[in-house]
Structure 1
Amino acid sequence: MSNTNVPTLQWGDTGPLLPEEHDILNGVIEDFQTAFNNKLNFYNAQGDFLLSTPQGQLATSMAAIISDRNRLLAYYVNQVDPSYAMGRMQDGIGRIYFIERIGAQNTTVVGVCSGKVGVQIGIGTLVQDRSGNIYAAKETYVIGDNGTVDVTFVCQTSGPIVCPEHDLQMYQMIAGWDSVDNPNPGIIGRNVESQQQFEQRRRQSVAQNSVNSVDSVMAALLNLVDDHHDPICQDAYVTENSTGEAIVKGNVLLQPHSIYVCVAALNSIENQQAIAKAIWSKKPPGCAMNGDTTVVIEDDSGLYSTPPTYSMTYQYAHNISLKFNVVMARPQFMPNDAVNQIKQAVYAAFTGADRSKRPRIGSQVLASDFYPAIQNIGTWTRIISVQIGRNGGDGASVQMNINEMPVLTQDDITVTFNG
């Protein structure tokens, strides 16, 4: 076995300890000198390293190879830690918990289509919003006896596309179909789930194989997908009242011995059934429920000749529009679209488009969380203050109630340059 003067990688309680690069280079030089009987010159009379010499090039190249090998090993050691894993390694950890990374999602919105009874609105039928984005019908729908039908439309552009309420309009004409309107805003899409977002969901999903706990209900909802394998719930919040008296949690009144489920999801008939069945499959038996939506489901386990039915009650989160007020110092040189760049950066951080964690139901939204997004735009960005609020950007944070989902549009971001 040959000996070397190159320091080796050591293992400590916190993981691998990498030798310094200058120590690796010195070890390689000593190995070369040993092999060539100290006949190689690596330094001149002034002690400067002779990089341009053949031996200097070989020594530095070999030291760089060893250093890169050490870093690569340390990187893969860290990849077995869920807090640091990314990419293919993170996907593998996710599969241990039977979860997959969420791909890019399209904004979905329920449009109330009015017209002649019996008229069919086929799958792929197109509408558009006032910004020009095109949406296609997810399934085939038939206008009912009341002259309307709720149609789920999917934006044809993936990512966080905003569709405000009453924003849909006709794009494709069908005989007997008169109008379309969305009384509620759409569920905003998202980009491919980032490392931070996936890890956050994994932590919340580890209880999905259990039952009879709030964590198991939460995990079931967060991993719920439709027939197209698209996630149904953008977010969920689950809590309980185990006492014999009604209590208030997060500004919501909870009945005695009850469970409370709040979801941020598209309120469509197919989604209602999926959400209700997910809750029923995990909740403790016999407990009371809270919320503003009650869905009747049927036990489809096949254990009964006449399946029993159950009423599941939960709540859809109220979308709460937040306001941002960003005050910047005016730089000497500033791009013409500086205001738009800052608005886009804040919006991207809020929606997770820049791979940040998105604000959630019941979360505290801190104005300081958006400093990095603005500062990363360029060296010309000098922040004086960022404030946030419900009715106006006037505070350092906003606390969402457990029945509230924070939402944001770029129109709700005000940017001012002082000086």
Structure 2
Amino acid sequence: MAQIIFNPLVGVELPSTQEIRSDLGSRIQQAFQTSPTDPLLNIEPSSPMGQVLDLIVAEIEAKNSEILFLSNMVNPDLATGKFLDALAALYGLDRKISEPTVVNCVLTGLKGTVIPYGAIAQDSLGNQYRHSAAAGARIGDTGSVTTTFTAIEHGPLEVAAGAVNRIVTTIAGWDTINNPAAGVVGRDEETDAELRNRMVESYAVNATGYVEAIEANLAALEGVLDVRVLENPTNAVITQFGVSINPHSILVAIVGGEDEQIAQTIYQRKDAGCGTTGTYQVSFTDSRFYNATYVYNIVRPQNQALNVKIEFFATSMNPTEKNNVIQAVINDVLGQGSNDRVSLASTVYASRFYAAIQSATAVPVASIQVALGSGAFGSSVQIPANVEPTIQESDVSLVFQTGG
């Protein structure tokens, strides 16, 4: 008998179309046979009753598919949409809303001028950005200061190097603004893949002292686009992902997020006596205990372009297809495909882009190489902990073979 089997080892097992048709067909033939000597009812697909049988089988298969879908929706590895949201809620997680683009800008002007939180600047396309350093930024002895601005509009807004160049909020002593590197592109609402990955990381959320716990809690903060926590439990300075970490200290490299919330999270999750490494300071004042202020050193990564070079076994490609390939690579870097977002303190392998590229074009790929900034191209590249990789259309180059 063709029936649904609930196998505790593999889950729901559905009968095949042929099994359903054969089982149901034999039952119909038995029902219409009034005596053992009567011929069996014709249920061939070309017969009227055969067509009726096929319609019934199609309805059964549709209902079986619905049952399979619902059973998959209680599996965190397969659930999507609102079903995944419901499972995430069991972990104490909510799907992250969209986040704005973050860009590091160099401000110049009179020494000692303070650029307050919330000051507005604008790029060449008219998009506006808000100064997001909670404590403001003070122009130093050199006549400049580097600080962070975030786009007012949320979502994956690309901002090229040098695009943020207009001051909207007039402040005496503030003369110019410019971004030496492209911004860290924001994102739309958290994808299923990103939420599923955060569910795995959330196992450490309730712990303290572990780098996994610190990182998971920092990643959950509003406005955080990327974060990595490294540790050095030894008695000597060590280097990880291009950054030196002091003895018995952690290094928090984080993009986005409010300074005070970051400091509060470190205060709550870091073990007492463990130092912090970095050139940027954040502080938290505990009003419950005599307004004690805790200052932590962190790293605010600088943006650097991730370059991707793709060579094809072809002499040319039409403009639409070229654009599709470039956009597929950008989406893959931003985690909008099957791969996780390319993040700081990680190794990027060129092979990760094959699937994305071949989904955008049928032209065979000869090779893919990656590079960071002005570095040499290769099959892989390491992203330092103090660098946030960015990408825009000009960072993706397509190479075609010459004729012959």
**TM-score range with shorter-chain normalisation?**
0.7 to 0.9
Q: Does 1:101 align with 2:83?
A: no
Q: Report how far residue 284 of structure 1 moved.
A: 0.4
2:188 aligned to which of 187, 191, 196: 191
Which stretch has the larger CA shift, 323-332 or 90-99? 323-332
Alpha carbons 1:361, 1:404 under 8 Å: kept: yes
Find the counterpart in structure 1 of residue 22 from structure 2: 26
Partner Cα separation in structure 2 for residue 88 and residue 170 of structure 1: 42
Match of 1:389 among 371, 377, 380: 371
1:23 is displaced (CA, Å) by: 0.7
Aligned partner of 2:232: which letter?
N
Once the two structures are superposed, the pairs formed by residues 142-291 of structure 1 within 5 Å of their partners are 152-156=149-153, 158-170=154-166, 180-183=176-179, 185=181, 186-225=183-222, 231=223, 233-265=224-256, 271-291=258-278
Residues 256 and 94 of structure 1: is their aligned pair in 2 closer, same or farther, counting only changes over 3 Å?
Answer: same
| Match in the other structure for 1:320 | 304
Which residue in 1 is equivalent to 2:36? Answer: none
- Does the 8 A contact of 1:169 with 1:179 survive in 2? no
**Deviation digits for residues 205-239 of structure 1, max 9, x if unmatched?**
322222222111111100012xxxxx2x2111112
Is 2:359 the partner of 1:358? Answer: no
Match in the other structure for 2:49: 55
SS state at 2:319 partner: coil
Call closer, same or farther: CA 1:393–1:368 in 2, change over 3 Å.
farther
Q: Any residues of structure 2 matched to 1:61-140 within 5 Å, and which?
A: 61-109=55-103, 112=107, 127-130=121-124, 132-135=125-128, 137=130
Once residues 281 and 175 of structure 1 are traced to their aligned partners in structure 2, the CA distance between those partners, rounded to angstroms, is: 37
Contact 2:215 2:229 in 1 (8 A): yes
SS in 1 for 2:204: coil
Q: How big is the shift at 1:388?
A: 1.0
Change (3 A) 1:323 1:181: same
Q: Compute the TM-score of the two structures, normalised by the length of structure 2.
A: 0.84
Which amino acid in 2 is paired with 1:281?
Answer: Q
Distance 1:59 1:285 in 2: 72
Of stretches 194-203 and 242-251 in structure 1, the one that deviates more from structure 2 is 242-251
Do the aligned partners of 1:367 and 1:388 also contact (CA within 8 Å) in 2?
A: yes
Change (3 A) 1:340 1:181: same
Counterpart code for 1:319: N
Show CA shifts across 1:89-129 (max 9, x none): 111111122221123323244664979x9999997x86432
Residue equivalent to 1:345: 328
Identity, in percent, stands at: 25
How many residue pairs were aligned? Answer: 389
Residue type matched to 2:264 in 1? K
Match for 2:49: what amino acid?
Answer: Q
- The answer on 1:40 being equivalent to 2:41 is yes
- From the superposition, tell whether residues 272 and 172 of structure 1 become closer, same or farther in structure 2 (CA, over 3 Å): closer
The worse-fitting range, judged by mean Cα deviation, of 179-188 and 33-42 is 179-188
Measured in 2, the distance between the counterparts of 1:145 and 1:404 equals 23
TM-score w.r.t. length of structure 1? 0.81
What is the letter of the counterpart of residue 295 of structure 2?
A: S
Kindly indicate whether the alpha-carbon contact (under 8 Å) linking 2:102 and 2:148 is maintained by their aligned counterparts in 1: no
Aligned-partner Cα distance in 2 for 1:148–1:249: 30
Counterpart-to-counterpart distance in 1, 2:135 and 2:204:
39
Per the alignment, residue 386 of structure 2 pairs with 403
2: CA distance between counterparts of 1:119 and 1:217? 32
Tell me how far apart the structure 2 counterparts of residues 73 and 395 of structure 1 sit (CA, whole Å).
47
Q: Which runs of 5+ in 1 are unaligned?
A: 44-48, 226-230
369-378 or 68-77: bigger deviation: 68-77
Structure 2 gaps, min length 5: 34-38
Query: Who is 1:14 aligned against?
Result: 10
What is the CA deviation profile of residues 10-41 of structure 1, one whole-angstrom value per residue up to 9, with x for unaligned ones? 42512122211111111111121122116521
Contact 2:313-2:364 within 8 A present in 1 as well: yes
The code of the aligned residue for 1:216 comes to A
Query: In terms of mean alpha carbon deviation, does 146-155 or 21-30 score higher?
Result: 146-155
Contact 2:131 2:149 in 1 (8 A): yes
Amino acid at match of 2:384: N
CA distance in 2, matches of 1:359, 1:159: 17
**Distance verdict in 2 for CA 1:133–1:374, change over 3 Å:** farther
Residues 362/414 of structure 1: CA separation in 2 closer, same or farther (3 Å cut): same
> In 1, Cα distance between the equivalents of 2:384 and 2:116?
38
Change over 3 Å in CA distance of 1:129–1:389 after alignment to 2: same
